[in-house]
Structure 1
Amino acid sequence: MKFLKKLVKVVLSLAILGLVGYGGYKWYKKRQFERSQAERTMVYATVEEGPLIINLLESGSVKPREQITIKSQVEGRVSILYIRPEGERVKKGDLLVELDASTMTDNKLNQEITVQNAKSSYVQAEENLEVVKNQAQADVEKAELNLRFAEEDLTKYKDGEYPKILNEAQSKVTLSEEELKRAQDKLEWSQKLFDEKYLSESEFLSDKLSCRRHELDLKSAKNSLELLEKYTYRRQIAQLESDVSQSKMALERIRRSCRANVVQAEAQLRARELELNRQESRLLKLIEQIEKCKILAPADGLVIYSTSSQGSFRRMNAEPLAEGQEVYERQELIYLPVGDEFIGEIKVHETNLKKIYPGLPVRIRIDALPGQIFQGKIAKIAPLPDAQSMWMNPDLKVYNTQVVIEDGAGLKSGMNCEAEIIVEQHEKAMYVPVQSVVKISGQPVVYVKTPTGVEKREIKVGLDNNRMIHVIEGLKVGEEVQMTPPLDSAVSVRLTDEILDVNIPDRPQGEANGGGPGGMPRRRPQGNWRQGGGMPPGQGGAPEGGMRRPEGQGGMPPGQGGGMPQGGVRPEGQGRPRGMRPQRPQGEGGAPGGPQRPPQQPAGN
């Protein structure tokens, strides 16, 4: 029994080994057959050695190297009354363009009237200033005279009139006292004589009345003196001092008022002068504008319309210059070439900028002159891409490049040309087709045919001319390389992310809680509408439980636009709610995932 069991095991082992060997043999034969079939269909290119020219071919147009740009310098929009025919040669001083100046001529007449009125106002303001100054001087002098008179009246009363009046009043009191004493003495004698019957009663009464009158006169004189000293003198002094103070204040008011009047008159004069200058400037400007309506040739040359020399895009948006067409200020009208030197203006793609630089030789072929080749050099490369090309196609970046043509005999402005820029010339160089070279981890690689199969080999390359690429080392003349190398090995996939040494700040509290900028909470509708990335239920589409627009009627087809796809739930990865950052797809930018097949790019670029 043990022997039989061992025999069975040996037989089974041999059978299994036979099956495995047979399977391996069949697989090997199949691989050999597939390899032979692939080698039959594989295209190879032979490594060659010989003259190699690294060049760039760009199309463009011929333009004069030096030209005078004639622009409209008339403000606003005006019509063309006359324009010199295109292609005609003119001499310095010849009329090129005449613009309509009828409206400006009418405005000029009105402006001349305005200038005359401004001159009249200016002369009136100038004379008014002199009158105001004269009147101010007279008023000030009169106020000063009144003040001096008031001060003199006060001094005269204190030192002259009052002492005189006081003296008269005191003298009157003294005289009244003397006369009263004499009257009293006489009355006393009359009384004695009347008592002794030597004097009549009438005479006695007369003396008595005279005494009484002198008493009243004395009392009146004393009262007048008292009034003068206590009231009249004080009142008169206060009145005269007030007159002096009022005269001083009146003088100050008049001085200030006169200064204000003079300043106002001077300001009015300056305003009239500025107004006059402004109106005269407008008149001069109108005269200059009328003169600019006739554009004369600044030099001898050939008339070329600006619309004929512009690019195709601008020509589609601009009408050709003609009589009756309106032009605006600073619009280019005519190009006037001076001299017989020309340049070729071409546009170089941004990927070729590293190949060219000023001074490179250029061979130029003219479409209208077949068989002729003109020589030139790169003179200038624009520092910024062409704005017109960027406006038409934002993804297209081309740079205007000027090529100076050395001998431009027979050339005319506007001719189409093809410029061949000679970047490098090699009398003996090794080269292969540019599509046979791929880059693996930044290193140029080719697949070389060997007796044992295809061998991957790293090489060192130079520049290419979009057809052949210069091989510096790594290959030998006569070897064969694949024209269609496998691209899967040329894809660089970063399997791990590199941790950077940076500090990531914390999210603000308001945004961390689901709020928007500024900490304001963001309102979210209920429901798991985030999954599809579209709009919440009941917003932007059919209401819940309501009727939905039939497919294909009025609107975008199912699955297109911003609506929900069929079934009501958007699959993952289609759309996203506002404010959410889209997730980077796998396999892109170093994230884990399968490699993406990029388009083939030449290794020499």
Structure 2
Amino acid sequence: MAHRPDGIALRHLRTLFHVGPTGDLTDGQLLERFIEGRGEAAELAFAAIVDRHGPLVLRACRAVLRDEHDAQDAFQATFLVLSRKARSLWVRDSIGPWLLAVSRRAARCARATRERRREVEREAPATDDRLIAAAGPGAEAPDPDLGLDLAEILLEEVDRLPGRHRDPVVLCDLQGLTLEQAARRLGCPVGTVKSRLSRARGRLRDRLARRGLAPEGRPGAAIVAAGGPRAPVPPSLSRSTIGLAMQSASKGVAAGPSIPAAVALIAQGASSAMIHAQIAQLVIPSIVLVLAAGAGWGASGNGRLPAGPPPADGPEAQAEGGGGAGGVLLLEVGPGTPAVSVSARGNLEASEVVEIRSPLDMPTTLASIIPEGTRVEAGELVCELDPAPLLDRLEWLKHSNIRNRGTLAAAKNRMGLAEIKLEEYLEADYPNQLKTVEGEIKLARSELERDQDRMEWSDEMLELGYISTAQNLGHKTDLEKARFNLEQAERKLEVLEDFTKPRRVKELQAAIDEARDRVLELEESLKGSEEAERRVRTQIERCSVSSPGKGMVVYASESSPGGKAVVIEEDAEVDGGQLIVRIIDLDRPMRVVVQAPESHVDRLKPGQRARIRVDAFPDATFEGKVIEVAPRPDPGLFSRHGVKVYLTPVELDEPSPMLRPGMTAEARIRVSGPTDAIRIPSKALLRHDGKAYAAVRLPGGGFEWREVAIAPGVGRPYVEVEGGVGPGDLLVVDPIDLLRGGSGAGDPVGGDPGGR
């Protein structure tokens, strides 16, 4: 395709005709038109992408490559990859970050190719005339400094940023867009772009500092300074790149008649590098998960299970052989029994917990948060909320208040004008109208008196014959007219006093009242909006949340099987008033909230001593006491498990640095101390028809069944005996063994004694 010197202007005109104004089109729309279009329409859409992002790509290539020809080859290879992969890309807002990543990989491929070529040239014999002739006297010497410079390191760190932070840096710092333009490209508020850009610059500055670099000013400014000014792409390079891309889109990346082999090789290398990077992003997290799971399996398989509960204190039991019993376990009854305990499990909680909630009344994101488990002091910063939504709201409120103040001032002026109009009417217009009507009445009366005198004279002259009858009738008509004029003037005065004045006064007063109501309405509206502005300013100041006291930070993350999981992390969304963290005072003793079943709750009382074992530390024991017993069962646990349990907090006597909230523990609550009453294990009894029987060893050998009277109110594992057996009797611990072994004791009731 032949291009005239004014080809760029003609291309812009063709773009306007075939594609339309490209300034309002997103990168995704341009890419879609390139994919779906044909011929010149597709070429012009791709040309618009090159014009928009070409300076960024060329500057990135120049930051890595010092040779201009190599940088242009990498530039062309980048857009070759774009044309080839256009159908597989999903562009939400801007394709600039993706092109930046491809251009970096293309530039590295070009640099690696150049270094391999130079290595071959250095290894060639120095006496080869052909190589010397090819190099020439002006050939470029190998670059002694092949290390990374500041610009390349900056581009690498920009590429490593998360997407929401990388996009504003690319658009604003690298492509020179304003915040408003970047916000339109990204489809989000200006305040959000500003906040993300600030956080991204902070991350870049920290990462560069860790690498021993500290650019002055914005990190993006250092990139621009190192990569050169934001100059447009040379027209010849742009035209050749567009032509190669159109050929590549139809034939692939392989070198063709018009695609240089070096450019095609760089494009293939960049494509492979992008594929490897995607595979690494997918595979490495999976490997980490597998290794973590393997470590967990190994720990669970090789670790020792915690020892079971110690044997309960009680009368000693001994094995008894012979007697045809085949060996049974005997228990000697004696006075005095050990303490009775109730075991229940639960989770550790802190005795002193301070909840920190979002101080905002609208959703936002967590800009930063201190790591979980960190110990903080009072006043120390815990988290920062993204103020971008509040800044946008504040900007809107400021403009709204300016408009409201102007509207209020205009309403007050209108109210003042209405008051002036009323005063003007009462003190000027009405008096003038009154004087005019009174003057008309006075004039009408004067004319009536004159016409009456004339009428008297006319009647006399008519009798004397000096005037005609017609003249006399004319004088009479004038008299009637004067009377009518006087009546009209007097009527006008009545209308003015009785109707015109009251109506006009009420109209003007109504206008004043309406203006006053409007002023009051605007004042209330302005007062509310100014109060809202003050609240927003206060909330912006509260975006930095500090700890009210000292303790350990615990995230308020929760997972609900039937609801929405709450995850507390950086960049997570939080609602207004949502619980973010809990500050736990570890200097105070912790407590375990056990779930006591309803069968034991009547035996629990505040102040009872307890011994606590934590699953994480099976060899350690802690002492504590019952704080309170819930008056009613927990409804949540009942609905989930179908068992009524009563939450019972047991507080430890001393704080321990090894304990953490959420650990599972078991509390053995001592419900009664040692007594002199006779108690035997429940399993030593057989029950039938509401009666209990025990097998007693006789002094001469053999066994007999005795009915045992049991005291009420004491359950397993011991029962209190009121009669039937006494101290010194040897009881069979498990009478079922005696029946199975055929010891000759027989059945206690002449048949099957039934269940226990």
| TM-score, normalising length: structure 2 | 0.48
Equivalent residue, structure 2, for 1:293: 543
Q: How do 1:83-482 residues align onto structure 2 when only pairs under 5 Å count?
A: 83-142=369-428, 144-145=430-431, 148-149=434-435, 152-153=438-439, 156=442, 160-174=446-460, 177=463, 180=465, 214-216=466-468, 219-220=469-470, 222-228=472-478, 231-247=480-496, 248-307=498-557, 318=565, 321-338=568-585, 339-393=587-641, 395-414=642-661, 415-435=663-683, 445-449=691-695, 454=705, 456-464=707-715, 466-472=716-722, 475-477=725-727, 478=729, 480=731
Distance 2:446 2:724 in 1: 135
The one-letter amino acid of 1:337's match is: I
The one-letter amino acid of 1:334's match is: V
Q: Secondary structure at the match of 1:380?
A: coil
Q: Secondary structure at the match of 1:359?
A: coil
- Work out whether residues 91 and 297 of structure 1, in 8 Å CA contact, stay in contact via their aligned partners in 2: yes
Distance 2:562 2:665 in 1: 19
Superposed CA offset, 1:157-207 (max 9, x none): 6754422331233234435655x4xxxxxxxxxxxxxxxxxxxxxxxxxxx
Superposed CA offset, 1:213-263 (max 9, x none): x242xx34532443355x324422442233123323111211221122112
- Which of 347, 365, 368 aligns to 1:82? It is 368
Equivalent residue, structure 2, for 1:594: none
- Work out whether residues 343 and 403 of structure 1, in 8 Å CA contact, stay in contact via their aligned partners in 2: yes
- Work out whether residues 462 and 472 of structure 1, in 8 Å CA contact, stay in contact via their aligned partners in 2: no
Residue 134 of structure 1: how far off its partner (Å): 1.0
Q: Secondary structure at the match of 2:335?
A: strand
Residue 118 of structure 1: how far off its partner (Å): 0.9
The one-letter amino acid of 2:669's match is: I
Residue 430 of structure 1: how far off its partner (Å): 1.2
> What is the percentage of aligned positions where both structures have the same residue?
20
Any gaps of 5 or more consecutive residues in structure 2? 1-322, 737-753
Residue 105 of structure 1: how far off its partner (Å): 1.5
Distance 1:253 1:40 in 2: 123
- Work out whether residues 166 and 228 of structure 1, in 8 Å CA contact, stay in contact via their aligned partners in 2: no
Q: Secondary structure at the match of 1:333?
A: strand
Distance 1:256 1:481, change over 3 A: farther
Distance 1:157 1:372 in 2: 122
The one-letter amino acid of 1:335's match is: R
Q: Secondary structure at the match of 2:599?
A: helix
Distance 1:316 1:153, change over 3 A: closer
Equivalent residue, structure 2, for 1:194: none
- What is the root-mean-square deviation in Å for CA atoms of aligned residues? 3.7
Q: How do 1:490-501 residues align onto structure 2 when only pairs under 5 Å count?
A: none
Deviates more, 1:90-99 or 1:339-348: 339-348
- Work out whether residues 118 and 276 of structure 1, in 8 Å CA contact, stay in contact via their aligned partners in 2: yes
Q: Secondary structure at the match of 1:49?
A: coil
Distance 2:578 2:475 in 1: 103
Equivalent residue, structure 2, for 1:549: none
Distance 1:288 1:435 in 2: 69
- Work out whether residues 358 and 380 of structure 1, in 8 Å CA contact, stay in contact via their aligned partners in 2: yes
Distance 1:457 1:345, change over 3 A: closer
Residue 84 of structure 1: how far off its partner (Å): 0.8
Distance 1:600 1:87, change over 3 A: farther
Distance 1:107 1:397, change over 3 A: same
Count of residues in Structure 1 that have an aligned counterpart in Structure 2: 408
Q: How do 1:513-532 residues align onto structure 2 when only pairs under 5 Å count?
A: none
Q: Secondary structure at the match of 1:381?
A: coil
Deviates more, 1:468-477 or 1:68-77: 468-477
- Work out whether residues 350 and 399 of structure 1, in 8 Å CA contact, stay in contact via their aligned partners in 2: yes
The one-letter amino acid of 2:514's match is: Q
Residue 472 of structure 1: how far off its partner (Å): 4.7
Q: Secondary structure at the match of 2:605?
A: coil
Equivalent residue, structure 1, for 2:59: none
- Work out whether residues 45 and 480 of structure 1, in 8 Å CA contact, stay in contact via their aligned partners in 2: yes
Equivalent residue, structure 2, for 1:570: none
- Work out whether residues 362 and 376 of structure 1, in 8 Å CA contact, stay in contact via their aligned partners in 2: yes
Residue 113 of structure 1: how far off its partner (Å): 1.0
Correspondence 1:69 to 2:355: yes
Distance 1:439 1:289 in 2: 71
Distance 1:484 1:108 in 2: 82
Superposed CA offset, 1:381-420 (max 9, x none): 2334334423432x12222221122222444322433211
Residue 269 of structure 1: how far off its partner (Å): 1.0
If you compute each CA radius of gyration, which structure gives the higher value, 1 or 2?
A: 1
Residue 439 of structure 1: how far off its partner (Å): 8.5
Deviates more, 1:342-351 or 1:234-243: 234-243
**Structure in which a larger fraction of residues adopt strand:** 1
Q: Secondary structure at the match of 2:339?
A: strand
Correspondence 1:50 to 2:336: yes
Residue 313 of structure 1: how far off its partner (Å): 6.3
Distance 2:564 2:598 in 1: 27
- Work out whether residues 344 and 404 of structure 1, in 8 Å CA contact, stay in contact via their aligned partners in 2: yes
Distance 1:317 1:463, change over 3 A: farther
The one-letter amino acid of 1:400's match is: L
| TM-score, normalising length: structure 1 | 0.59
Distance 1:316 1:150 in 2: 84
Residue 74 of structure 1: how far off its partner (Å): 2.6
Q: Secondary structure at the match of 2:423?
A: helix
Distance 1:265 1:426 in 2: 88
Distance 2:374 2:358 in 1: 20
- Work out whether residues 380 and 547 of structure 2, in 8 Å CA contact, stay in contact via their aligned partners in 1: yes
Equivalent residue, structure 1, for 2:256: none
Q: Secondary structure at the match of 2:674?
A: strand
Greater RCO (CA < 8 Å, at least 6 residues apart): 1
Distance 1:319 1:255, change over 3 A: closer
Distance 2:734 2:576 in 1: 59
- Work out whether residues 460 and 473 of structure 1, in 8 Å CA contact, stay in contact via their aligned partners in 2: no
Any gaps of 5 or more consecutive residues in structure 1? 1-36, 181-213, 486-598
Superposed CA offset, 1:347-367 (max 9, x none): 212222111122222222334
Q: Secondary structure at the match of 2:692?
A: strand
Distance 1:329 1:600 in 2: 60
Distance 1:431 1:457, change over 3 A: closer
